[in-house]
Chains A and B, each alone.
Chain A
Amino acid sequence: MDFLVSHFAEILFYILAALAVLGSVGVITLKNPVNAALSLLGTFFIVAVLFVLQHAEFLAAVQVMVYAGGIMVLFLFVIMLVSVKGLKTQAAFLSPLVPVAIIGAILVGALITSAVLLGVFATGDGGPEALQMVDGAVLGNTEAVGMVLYTKYLVPFEVVSVVLLVAMIGAIVFGRKDRFIEEQEGEVGS
């Protein structure tokens, strides 16, 4: 009982980590794309809980907000582009997964190695406490993230937002192209 109480956070972490891995395996193995997307949603949710365990509440909330919206759009695409009846007869496409699995294994290996090398598990500069501090005062995670984002990492932040804007405009241009041409042709015709 004492062990349970004193190691509660760690035990919770291992259970949640196992669930997250299970969920992500579900994403790539479930045949029905809607179930796969649901599994993805569950995985993101568990990752959000992991953030809470690390006292990164702001990240947790944003994780749920952003990815819930993102997966919603994914759902829409699945529903609009794939018919439900066609799904049930579809066979699993295992063979293309083999090279992907190899690449994945290499990436996971690299990730674990770097995690061990960087000593993520040791509390230090990047530990949970640092996520609550602004100029040495404990204010909370939201303030800390805001301070770091708008002072130390201001330039990368702005660059990323410009890149995202470019991607957005690109998508709009591609999406509107046909309609635009049709309208112009219609004007010429009339």
Chain B
Amino acid sequence: MPEPILQLLLIPLVKIVVLLVVVLLIVAYLTYAERKILGYMQVRLGPNRVGPKGWLQPVADGLKLLVKEDLVPGGAEKLVFIIAPAIVMVPALVMFAVIPFGEPFEVAGMTITPYLADINIALLFILGVSSVGVFGIMLGGWSSNNKFSLMGGLRSAAQMVSYEIPMGFAIISAVLMAGTLSMVGIVEAQRTAGWWFVFPGILGFGIYWICGIAETNRNPFDLPEAEAELVAGFHTEYSGMKFALFYLAEYANMMIVSAMAVVMFLGGWLPPFPNLLAGLWASPALAWIPGVIWFLAKMSFFLFCYIWFRGTFPRYRFDQLMAVGWKWLLPLSLANVMLVGLGVLLLKG
């Protein structure tokens, strides 16, 4: 087989397939983990009937949702109603293309990068694509012709537009420290700096993480689907696989937010303090663990936090949500950008 075809077509194709399969598997088992962990937090067992300890529960759920009747409400705007779940799901998966999961490695004389693309606007790309995902939720809520759905969609839009701004500023603080918008470049900058950006940028990290939870509509920011007020929010009228797409996209977005936190603030695939520990006994032990494992372990921590928060915090009221976003996070994130900018100027200039 000629070399260019292998390099340009086959390897990316294999990577795409592997990425999609792994992401969807993690997403499926994230739902299982959530039910199990919440179960233990609430002193009950969680799913334990399908397979040993309930391991096959996600498979059973998937099959059930596939064969369920797919309803379209009578007064719905049919075309929009059908494409809305796709508008949510596609951006959620597309964003994984720029997430660097590890460092390049060699297989049969070829260097394989464990990411699909290292583009010089990766962070902007993710921000842009994620803002498209909001449309799916909005359109789904609007096209259902149901007041609960509409309220859920409107809440989601208001929430995401509000929290996108402090999130953008928190990301800017990480970009200031790294000096690049490329995800791989940010991780490499943390290797040169010798520490993860979470230490100098703890404020930006906190703001990013709070906004990330709000952007994924998770507890305590899950007002768009507050069951006590809105039945199920924007996906009230959705059933079968369309509902499953909304559901899976939410978990895929959680993974993206976690992965971005890992890349920007926790050193991506790097072990802790890559330079400081170089001479110490711990260094070879930590370096022996492959980067991908480091990455996934850090990401799992954030995913666990998501579930932990859901088991712990009560939901915000809507005016509290807006007050936190506009009166606290936005000024804080602006101050943080100035602080970090000043620090970078003093240290590098």
Q: How far is the CA of A68 from the CA of B129 in the complex (A)?
A: 9
B124–A61 touching, CB < 8 Å: yes
A141–B154 touching, CB < 8 Å: no
Residues of the A chain whose Cβ atoms lie less than 8 Å from the Cβ of B119? 57
Residues of the B chain whose Cβ atoms lie less than 8 Å from the Cβ of A69? 131, 161, 164
A34–B142 touching, CB < 8 Å: yes
B154–A68 touching, CB < 8 Å: no
B124–A62 touching, CB < 8 Å: yes
Q: How far is the CA of A27 from the CA of B308 in the complex (A)?
A: 45
B120–A64 touching, CB < 8 Å: no
Q: Is A50 located at the chain interface by the 8 A CB criterion?
A: no
Expressed in whole angstroms, the minimum distance between the Cβ of A5 and any Cβ of chain B is 11
Residues of the A chain whose Cβ atoms lie less than 8 Å from the Cβ of B161? 69, 72-73
Q: Is A11 located at the chain interface by the 8 A CB criterion?
A: no
Main secondary structure of the interface of B (DSSP, over half): helix
Give the residue of B131, B145, B150 whose beta carbon is less than 8 angstroms from that of A64: B131
Q: How far is the CA of A65 from the CA of B145 in the complex (A)?
A: 28
Q: Is A142 located at the chain interface by the 8 A CB criterion?
A: yes
Q: Is A76 located at the chain interface by the 8 A CB criterion?
A: yes
Binds A, one of B43-51, B132-140, B327-335: B132-140
Q: How far is the CA of A61 from the CA of B132 in the complex (A)?
A: 12
Residues of the A chain whose Cβ atoms lie less than 8 Å from the Cβ of B77? 32, 34, 84
- Please judge, given known A-B contacts A34-B80, A84-B77, A142-B181, whether A75 and B157 are in contact too, CB under 8 Å: yes
Task: Give the residue among B80, B129, B131 with the most A Cβ atoms within 10 A.
Answer: B131
- Please judge, given known A-B contacts A34-B142, A140-B120, whether A64 and B128 are in contact too, CB under 8 Å: yes
Residues of the B chain whose Cβ atoms lie less than 8 Å from the Cβ of A64? 128-129, 131-132
Residues of the B chain whose Cβ atoms lie less than 8 Å from the Cβ of A38? 80, 139
Which residue of chain B has the shortest Cβ distance to A79 in the bound complex? B142
Q: How far is the CA of A148 from the CA of B142 in the complex (A)?
A: 42
B120–A68 touching, CB < 8 Å: no
Q: How far is the CA of A72 from the CA of B127 in the complex (A)?
A: 15
Residues of the A chain whose Cβ atoms lie less than 8 Å from the Cβ of B135? 41, 68, 71-72, 75
A76–B154 touching, CB < 8 Å: yes
Q: Is B125 located at the chain interface by the 8 A CB criterion?
A: yes
B80–A141 touching, CB < 8 Å: no
A57–B120 touching, CB < 8 Å: yes
Q: How far is the CA of A34 from the CA of B80 in the complex (A)?
A: 9
Which residue of chain A has the shortest Cβ distance to B132 in the bound complex? A68
Q: Is B121 located at the chain interface by the 8 A CB criterion?
A: yes
A141–B142 touching, CB < 8 Å: no
A142–B145 touching, CB < 8 Å: no
Main secondary structure of the interface of A (DSSP, over half): helix
B142–A57 touching, CB < 8 Å: no
Expressed in whole angstroms, the minimum distance between the Cβ of A96 and any Cβ of chain B is 26
Q: Mark A27-68, 1 if CB is under 8 A from B, else 0.
A: 000001011001001000100100000000110111011001
B121–A57 touching, CB < 8 Å: yes
Residues of the B chain whose Cβ atoms lie less than 8 Å from the Cβ of A140? 120
Residues of the A chain whose Cβ atoms lie less than 8 Å from the Cβ of B124? 58, 61-62, 65, 142
Residues of the B chain whose Cβ atoms lie less than 8 Å from the Cβ of A65? 124, 127-128, 131
Expressed in whole angstroms, the minimum distance between the Cβ of B220 and any Cβ of chain A is 23
Q: Mark B246-289, 1 if CB is under 8 A from A, else 0.
A: 00000000000000000000000000000000000000000000
Instruction: List B residues 290-327 near A (Cβ within 8 Å).
Output: none
Task: Give the residue among A32, A57, A73 with the most B Cβ atoms within 10 A.
Answer: A57
Residues of the A chain whose Cβ atoms lie less than 8 Å from the Cβ of B121? 57-58, 60-61, 141-142
Q: How far is the CA of A190 from the CA of B276 in the complex (A)?
A: 67
Q: How far is the CA of A62 from the CA of B181 in the complex (A)?
A: 13
Give the residue of A34, A68, A72 whose beta carbon is less than 8 angstroms from that of B128: A68
Q: How far is the CA of A125 from the CA of B139 in the complex (A)?
A: 43
Residues of the A chain whose Cβ atoms lie less than 8 Å from the Cβ of B75? 84
B154–A79 touching, CB < 8 Å: yes
Give the residue of B134, B145, B181 whose beta carbon is less than 8 angstroms from that of A84: B145
A79–B120 touching, CB < 8 Å: no
Expressed in whole angstroms, the minimum distance between the Cβ of A60 and any Cβ of chain B is 8
- The 10 tightest CB contacts between A and B, nearest first, are A61-B124, A64-B128, A68-B131, A65-B128, A140-B120, A57-B121, A61-B121, A61-B128, A61-B125, A68-B132
Can you list 13 A-B contacts (CB < 8 A)?
Answer: A34-B142, A48-B128, A64-B132, A68-B134, A71-B135, A72-B131, A72-B134, A73-B161, A84-B75, A84-B77, A141-B121, A142-B120, A142-B181
List residues of chain A with CB under 8 Å of any chain B CB: 32, 34-35, 38, 41, 45, 48, 57-58, 60-62, 64-65, 68-69, 71-73, 75-76, 79, 84, 140-142
- Given A58-B121, A68-B132, 19 further pairs, Cβ under 8 A: A34-B77, A34-B139, A57-B119, A57-B121, A61-B124, A61-B125, A61-B128, A62-B124, A64-B132, A65-B131, A69-B164, A72-B131, A75-B138, A76-B157, A79-B154, A141-B120, A141-B121, A142-B124, A142-B181
